[in-house]
Structures are given as structure tokens and as C-alpha cells.
Homo-oligomer: A and B are copies of this chain.
Amino acid sequence: MNIVRQMDCLDGLATLPPCVADLVYLDPPFFTGRSHSNTTRSGNKRYAFSDVWSESGSYAGFMHARVSEIHRVLKDTGSVFFHCDHNATHIARSILDDVFRSENFQSEIIWSYKRWSNSKKGLLQQHQTILFYSKTADFKWNEKRKGYSPTTNLDQILQQRARDVRGKSVYKRDAAGDVVFGSEKKGVPLGDVWEIPFLNPKAKERTGYPTQKPLELLDLIVELVTDAGDLVVDPFSGSGTTLVSAATLGRRYVGFDISADAVALAKSRIDDPVRSSSMLLQKGAAAYVKDDPWVDGHLLGFDYDRVHRNAGIDGILRSSLNGQTVCVRVQRQGETLLEAAAAAKSAARKKPGCMFALIQTEGGLFDLKADGLMVIPSPALQLARIGNSGEVENLKVAKAA
């Protein structure tokens, strides 16, 4: 049973028998009060949907009817994941509490991401919410664990625990007072805050459909509560991300959408799935950070932002000098000043109008101003030059009186 059909999911769900679905994921309009549209990269197709309601009651009524149908088609071991943002969380909670009963509430999942900023007064929105309810207490659950984060003190986790006389948890110690190590680690249990990068503007996965969700998010949900061969239902399938995830993970799928364009897009994506995996998620943010102590140390005292990906620039000063942006490059150990200057000039060629400061850590005097490079000697280099110049003759601290 693999279906993608253009119809209102209220009618669509009614065509399904009761108790057949293992997972219903829905990404309905968020009650944002505006209509959303987007044009494909090639500019030849425009996708749009409306999320305008007269009042919250009509939205609630609309959702309640559909959530009731969702409850009907779910197996007793099945679960529903309701995707929304702050505009609708409280409405969705009330509806789900009513239809699924509040004791079947499992988690309020926070999908958090970094995104473009703007000049909003207040805080930037950087998360959406996924409400997770099961139909019964006996829901299907595939436990997932993550590797330990590099910052975790692995030694401590591996230590066995005990309780002290007042019931406080403490690390277990043997008779000699040494800590006792446990047998094995299982990894950290998955939490309810998921940091998954937002679908990137350049991602191959992008279809041009507004509000498209990353496959990595849907894969996680599908794997948590279904096995191969299980049935995944998406009543607001949109660009079809849920169906692509289900199909590629060997689940059966049923999707409905009111838009014919969306259904066509979803079908073509299922036939030819494009998945882009996030480098950030694979490597972790730490992999992007260049924390070279040599460079960072020599940049102490500057008010700057560190540049992580340009061979000729180590930092850019926050305030400009005479209206010019200032880029700073530190001469590396084992690098000649001319090599450092070449790297800076190569970067400078593409940044006309910028001033470049080169922090020299080794070598003799050079005047590179003609090339637009200011050379600034490090303290150690300055002292070495004073020494060579013989200026230090008899420079001693005056003896105490």
C-alpha cells in the first residue's frame, strides 16, 4: 500500500481502514496567519499554500477533525508526531490531549537549528516543536543512543555509581578509596532537543517547495517508531519528505495533499530521491573551528572575529580603521614573512578596499606597505631586535634605594 493522492486528508484518511498505521507524521499549516510561497531555483515553478484563518477556533476545529481520523487509523502500538511552531503548540496540545488523552503524551520535541538572522526586536526564532503522542502506553519504540560528545568526561561516565547514607548518588569507590569502573557504555540516550541543520539554500535536496523539511529529521522519526514494512502516513505531505524517507527506509507510505503540484512533486521525489547529508551534522561544529593557539595567542587584545576558512585571513577586526575593514594575518611558525604576505595578498586581491595587517613573528625588517600590507612585529620579535641592536647595554633595573 503505497499511495500519494491529491485530496483533503479528512476524506483521504476516511478511505483507510482503522488501526493500520504505525506512524502518522503531520506538518500542517502552523497557524502563522499568512500565505507561503516560493519559487524554484530555476524560476519556472511556483509553489504556494495559504495559512490564513479567520480565528483560532476555525483552525482548532479543522485540526480536531483530522486528528480524530488520525487516531482512528493508528495501530494500538502506533504514534503520531505533530509538527508545529509557537503559533500553534498550545492549540495542538489541547487537541491531542483531547483525542489521544494526556497520559499518552510522550514528548515535546524541540527541533533547533541555526538560521539567517534579521533585525527583529527580541529573540530570533530558532526552533520548531514536534509533539509526540502514542495511541497507547504499549507503543513501538526503537531505542536510539548517540555517541558521547567530545566534551563529556568519559572517565566519569564509566565509573560505577552508588548511593551514600542519605541517598545521594556518588561515584562508587572500593575499599582502598579508588573509583570503580563499570563494564560497558551504551551511549547517551536520545533527548528531546534535536539539533539538526536547517535545509540549506544550496542543498541538492531542496525542491523549491516552501517549508520543506530535511530528510535527516524525518529519518530519525521514522526509525524511532517504525520497522521495515510498517506503514507511515502523512496527511499533509507537501513536498513529500516523509514519503521519501519512508520509501528509502523500506517502510510503506500513504500521503495526501490538497495541492496537485505538491502531489506531483512528491511522486517525482519518491521516484528519484535526492538526499544531502549535512556536513555539520557529520563532523560537528568543532571540526570547523580553527583554534590554533599560535594564531589565537597573537591575536589577543584585538577585538576581532575569527575567520575559519580563508588561508590569507585569520581574523577581521570588528571596528574599521579610517573607514576601512581590517584583516589580520599571523605569520605561522616555520613560515617566512614573505610566504605569509603572499597568502594575505592572495586573499586581498579579492577584497579590494580592505586593509591588511600582518603580525610578524620571525625574521628581519621588511617594508611591505607598497603592497598595502602593514607589518606588525610580535613582542618576542621586538625584544630580539632590541637585543641585536645592542640597545640593551647596561639596561638594568636600578637597585633599590
Contact = CB atoms under 8 A, between A and B. Distances in A.
Interface of A: 39, 41, 43, 86, 89-91, 93-94, 97, 105-110, 112, 114-127, 129, 132, 141, 143, 147-151, 153-155, 157-158, 166-168, 178-181, 183-193, 280, 285, 288-289, 293-294, 296-302, 305-310, 313, 316, 318-322, 324-327, 345, 347-357, 359, 361-362, 369-374, 376-383, 386-387, 390, 392-393, 395-400
A158 B316 contact: yes
A43 B166 contact: yes
A326 to B, nearest CB: 7
Given A348-B397, A372-B397, A123 B147 contact: no
Contacts of A179: 350-352
A379 B381 CA distance: 11
Given A345-B397, A359-B379, A353 B180 contact: yes
B124 A191 contact: yes
Contacts of A106: 122-123
Nearest to A41: B168
Nearest to A400: B349
Nearest to A148: B305
B351 A155 contact: yes
Given A108-B129, A124-B189, A185-B305, 5 more contacts: A108-B127, A125-B191, A181-B353, A349-B399, A359-B379
A321 B397 contact: no
A22 to B, nearest CB: 16
Contact of A326 (B183, B300, B383): B383
27 contacts: A90-B93, A106-B123, A107-B125, A109-B123, A110-B193, A117-B189, A119-B189, A123-B190, A127-B192, A154-B308, A178-B353, A184-B319, A184-B320, A185-B318, A186-B318, A296-B297, A298-B379, A299-B379, A301-B378, A302-B383, A322-B390, A322-B393, A352-B397, A352-B400, A369-B395, A371-B398, A378-B379
Contacts of A362: 301
* Tally of this chain's copies: 2
B153 A309 contact: yes
| Chain B CB within 10 Å, residue with most, of A121, A190, A361, A379 | A379
A371 B357 CA distance: 32
A340 to B, nearest CB: 14
Contacts of A178: 352-353
Given A313-B155, A353-B180, A383 B379 contact: no
A316 B112 contact: no
A351 B258 CA distance: 63
Closest 3 CB pairs of A and B: A301-B380, A297-B297, A372-B397
A397 B300 contact: no
A192 B124 contact: yes
Contacts of A148: 305
Contacts of A357: 379, 383
A110 B107 contact: no
A352 to B, nearest CB: 5
A123 B285 contact: no
Contacts of A301: 298, 361-362, 378-381
